[in-house]
Amino acid sequence: MRRLILCIVGVWSGLALMAEPFYVRINGTRDVPATNTGVKDYQERTQYAAMNVSLAKNDRLTCYDAGSGAAWNIAVIDPYGAYANFSTGSSALTCNVAGTYDIYIKMKMNDDMWFIQSSDGTSPEPYSPKDYEVAVPAQCEDIMLQAFYWDSPWDKEYGNTRWATLTGQAAEIGSYFSLVWLPPSSAPKSDGLGYIASCYSNQNSSLGSESELRTLLATLHAHDVKVLADIVINHCGNKGSWCDFNELNFGQYGTFRPDASWITSDDEGGCNPSGNADDGQHEANYEAARDWDHTDENVQNMCKAYTKWMKKVMLYDGFRYDYCGGFHTKHINAYNAAAKPYFSVMEYWYGDAATLKSRIDNAVKNSLAFDFALKYNTFRDGIFKKSYTKCINGGLRGKGYEKYAVTFIDNHDTFNRGNGNEPNGKGDGSSINDKSLMMRCNAYLLSMPGVPCVFYPHWIKYKAEIKKMIEARRAAGIHSQSLVDESADTGWYRATVHGKKGAIKLMLGTAAEDEAPAGYTLVLKGTDYALYYILGEDTMQALQTVPALDRTQPVYNIMGQRVDASFRGLVIQNGNKYYNQ
């Protein structure tokens, strides 16, 4: 809120009208002209720039309007550029580091802001996420961190992940991860992670204020990390009565006033909702909150405005869509087409790879999906039970959809939640204390194609080991579509995963006792696991030189089982090995 300091004697009967020219006032005595740039910022603020301004340490900045003779303080600074060299206050902005700066006064009614960058070219331009036609990167080398767990707002066993805490960890996170998934940043209906939002356009949550969130986003971006927003649009919270909703103000993208007509007609709420029936494909009714009718044009426009606002204004790079079983996944494509994010992943909580594939197809392949089939079939029923044949073509990879798989071991909904969904089949948080299990699962996760998502408590407890696995994956250039040579039996698993710059060899179970493969470097070795990598292998040469399969002849996988010629990966025909894509 702009505070006007009256420069004339007496009492004004109305608001002073602001008019050019404007100046940056330094220490109350020195005025530097700020010229209208003619370009508004992303929130429609008019921008006035004072270029190449020399400032000494402890100089104090305010604004001055010569037209009305009024000076005022701006208490907010855009968390980009050289913002860290300044501190805001109730009476002035203080320079903490002497230098030459370009100073922008960004003006909008009740929403003024400074933006300051170094004039010597060392300060980056304000961060602005790019537009992408498809939210599924090809041959993606990203490694994701789920930067929270269920008790994240509080100081539990693995610490808290409030915005200010993560800001302090950003440099280390950026050294190992290129994607970070944050929990919902909207104002929650009650304390907690915010999976029932009360107002999407209010970005003050249990994890911190909007200002702290913006600082976190800016700091992660400064360390080359892209950030995913958790988008909860299957359902929402209300203010008081069943269908009494908060107004949603997305600035230039629109203001929305939801009512009962926006809610599915089969919602269990007591407000006589008049929307269409829920079009969810798996878990249509969410009883804890009101379900949006995604067939309704008002709801669709709201969701498009929300995703655009989160990307263009809050500056997220992509989205994790919550509870996608509650609405048809075709809507995901529409919302991504509007916002054009870098990355999109759906939570479709279903352990069948064929079903996950169909939901990705419904989204016109414009989103990845969390690979719950891999979690249950490979990690819980395979690696934990040492039934290693379940590692062969695990999860979506077995459907040729590894490009669309975000692979994971545990998340906030499955870890220590009493629901039996941990890798050891329990729900009491005990799986994390089984180091051999954690090493086997994380070694598989960080070796295989797909986009791996490391769970925050795993990162905290086994940071040294996970860092080595990530370094090996990056060194070998393993990506979301890497090819895998693999074999297994009940008690063992062996795999060679080919990257852009090398390869990884993974041995699980009794295979971990094999001799070190010639030319490979050991990454980690322990009970029932061993991981190696090699550099300099031209792993794409085989793809370029292998002849086409003879479709009239039988095709076998590496275990000697007959498969269809459309089977992806390493196949054997007439005794010869081929990479079939």
pLDDT of residue 230: 98
Domain end among 59, 86, 118: 118
Q: Residue 548: which pLDDT band, with cuts at 50, 70 and 90?
A: low
d(CA 438, CA 527): 11
Lowest-confidence pick of 31-40, 170-179, 514-523: 31-40
Residues 6+ apart with CB under 8 A from 526: 435, 436, 439, 512
Q: Which residue segment(s) compose the domain that 110 sits in? A: 3-118
Tell me the average pLDDT of the chain.
89
- pTM for the model: 0.79
Q: Which CATH number covers residue 40?
A: 2.60.40.3620
Task: Tell whether the model's pLDDT for residue 17 goes beyond 60.
Answer: no
Region 11-28 average pLDDT? 66
Q: Output the pLDDT for position 543.
A: 41
Choose between 470 and 544: higher pLDDT. Answer: 470
Q: Is residue 11 part of a domain?
A: yes
Question: Mean per-residue pLDDT for 449-473?
Answer: 97
Q: How confident is the model at residue 365 (pLDDT cuts 50, 70, 90)?
A: very high
Q: Looking at residues 550-558, what average pLDDT do you find?
A: 70
Instruction: List phi, psi (to 5°) of 432.
Output: -65, -20
Q: What is the mean pLDDT of residues 82-102?
A: 92
Kindly tell me if the per-residue pLDDT of 507 is higher than 70: yes
The answer to whether the beta carbons of residues 381 and 403 sit under 8 Å apart is no
pLDDT band at residue 67 using 50, 70 and 90 as cut-offs? confident
Domain boundary among 62, 86, 118: 118
Q: Identify whether 14 is part of a domain.
A: yes
Going by the DSSP 8-state scheme, the letter that residue 376 receives in this structure is: I
Query: CA nearest 444: which of 384, 513, 489, 521?
Result: 384
Confidence of residue 562 (pLDDT cuts 50, 70, 90): confident
Closest by CA to 7, choosing from 60, 91, 61, 68, is 68
Specify if 87 maps to a domain. yes
Terminal C-alpha separation, the chain: 59
553 part of a folded domain: yes
Q: Mean of the pLDDT values across residues 383-411?
A: 97
- Per-residue pLDDT, averaged over 430-445, amounts to 98
Q: Which residue has the tokens 């792993």?
A: 539
Task: Tell me, yes or no, whether 484 lies in a domain.
Answer: no
Q: Evaluate whether 113 touches 27 at the Cβ level (below 8 Å).
A: no
Q: What is the pLDDT of residues 144-154, one digit of tens each?
A: 999 999 999 99
Greater confidence (288 vs 293) lies with 293
Predicted local confidence at residue 579, as pLDDT = 59
Q: Is residue 246 part of a domain?
A: no
| Per-residue pLDDT at 142 exceeds 80 | yes
Provide the pLDDT for residue 580. 64
The structural domain count of the chain equals 2
Confidence of residue 565 (pLDDT cuts 50, 70, 90): low
3-state secondary structure of 523: strand
Lowest mean pLDDT among 372-381, 387-396, 549-558: 549-558
pLDDT at 566: 64
Query: Is 34 a domain residue?
Result: yes
**pLDDT tens figures, 473-494:** 999 999 999 999 999 998 999 9
552 domain-assigned: yes
Whole-angstrom distance, CA of residue 251 vs CA of residue 495: 51
User: Which of 63, 89, 118 is at the close of a domain?
Assistant: 118
In angstroms, rounded to a whole number, what is the distance separating the alpha carbons of residues 88 and 102?
17
Which of 75-89, 272-286, 322-336, 348-362 has the lowest average pLDDT?
272-286
